[in-house]
Amino acid sequence: MTRFLSNCPRCGYVAEAWSEDGVSVQVRCKMCGYEGRQPHPDLKNGAWRVG
Ligand SMILES: [Zn+2]
């Protein structure tokens, strides 16, 4: 599991994020409580279709 930091899409604060499958990341923001799934930041521009 890869852990890193990502900007919260709701409040913009630095949120904790981690990837479980390398394709999407779970984001959890301690500032506003946001919790959700986003595309992995390293896999933009159609990388969803890899493979
Ligand atoms: Zn937030």
pLDDT at 29 over 50: yes
Distance CA 32, CA 35 (A): 9
The SS3 assignment for 48 reads helix
- pLDDT the model gives residue 22: 82
- Give how far Cα 9 sits from Cα of 46, 50, 51, Å: 20, 25, 28
Tokens of 35: 């919790």
More confident site: 2 or 31:
31
Report the pLDDT averaged over residues 17-35: 92
Percent of the chain with pLDDT over 70: 82
Which position has the token pair 């709701």? 10
Does residue 51 register a pLDDT over 50?
no
Position 45 confidence tier, pLDDT thresholds 50, 70, 90: low
Distance (Å, whole) CA 51 – CA 45: 14
Chain centroid, CA 16 distance in Å? 8
22 alpha carbon to ligand 1 midpoint, in Å?
22
- CA–centroid distance, residue 17 to ligand 1 (Å): 12
